[in-house]
Amino acid sequence: MEQTILNLTQHVATPEQIEAGVFEPSAEDKKEIQKLLTFEEIKETDPWSRFQRAEKIAKIAIKYFPESYNPEEDDRGRAMIGGAPYFMSKLERVLSEFDISPMYAFSKRESVDQPQPDGSVRKVQVFRHAGFVEV
């Protein structure tokens, strides 16, 4: 599958997401994205700081879409996002201003039984990628 969805989350894309078209930014850009998505202090969450972070992420993201890209003729660039809920709406808006469609991964939760050596059964929840929700 052609890779068309830039991963702008703190996590590495799963094999299922990669199969669905997700690709990773460079290691250097991934590290910067992770830093921008991480809020250590409450003072970093004011509206201006969130806007600045979102704009920096968008400027990183736009590098991954062709220079010849024309949003009026082509599909918009797409990016998988995720992180602090108080930041996502700001990131959604700024990416949209850069003609990048923000998307969220949609997962299905499956309960899996794992037999244990003592004969007991351990239940674990496994999340399986099931698609994307476009904002």
What's the structural domain count of the chain? Answer: 1
112: containing domain = 5-134
Residue 39: what are its φ and ψ, rounded to 5°?
Answer: -110, 115
H/E segment holding residue 82: none
Whether 105 contacts 129, CB under 8 Å: yes
pTM of the full structure: 0.84
> How far apart are the C-alpha atoms of 89 and 87, rounded to whole Å?
6
Q: Which residues contact 15 (CB under 8 A, 6 or more apart)?
A: none
pLDDT truncated to tens, each residue of the chain (135 aa)? 556 899 999 999 999 999 999 999 999 999 999 999 999 999 999 999 999 999 999 999 999 987 655 555 556 789 999 999 999 999 999 999 999 999 999 999 889 899 999 999 999 988 889 999 988
Mapping DSSP onto H, E and C, the string for 41-52 reads CHHHHCHHHHHH
